[in-house]
Amino acid sequence: MPSIKFVDADGNETTVDAKAGMSVMRAAIENDIDGIEAECGGGCMCATCHVFVDESWMGKLSTALPEEHDMLEETATERTAQSRLSCQIMISDDMDGLIVRLPLTQI
């Protein structure tokens, strides 16, 4: 079972075990990670599950689809090159150790 490390805006780290096939957003919600609002429930229709993927993982993830890029224009915290919507990152067994940073605010 892959482990995902969430780092909040203050630098506090929480590592959770996640099931392959679920989204990073769902792993955050099921493990009570503060900082993921997920207002649309994972439908890529809001930007309240915005995360910054650790640079070492950027090349290992699937490419963001155009719909995700459009929603990333709506984030409450400024978008960076590491910005992704956590609802669009599907966890696989080879993602053990993934690190995502949470923005200061989602709304």
pLDDT in tens, 33-83: 999 999 999 999 999 999 999 999 999 999 999 999 999 999 999 999 999
Q: Which domain holds residue 41?
A: 3-101
Question: Residue 11 belongs to a domain with what CATH number?
Answer: 3.10.20.30
Domain count, the chain: 1
d(CA 94, CA 92): 5
pLDDT of residue 68: 98
d(CA 41, CA 39): 6
* Residue 79, domain member (yes or no): yes
* Residue 107, domain member (yes or no): no
Tell me the percentage of the chain whose pLDDT exceeds 90. Answer: 99
* Residue 39, domain member (yes or no): yes
pLDDT of residue 107: 86
* Residue 106, domain member (yes or no): no
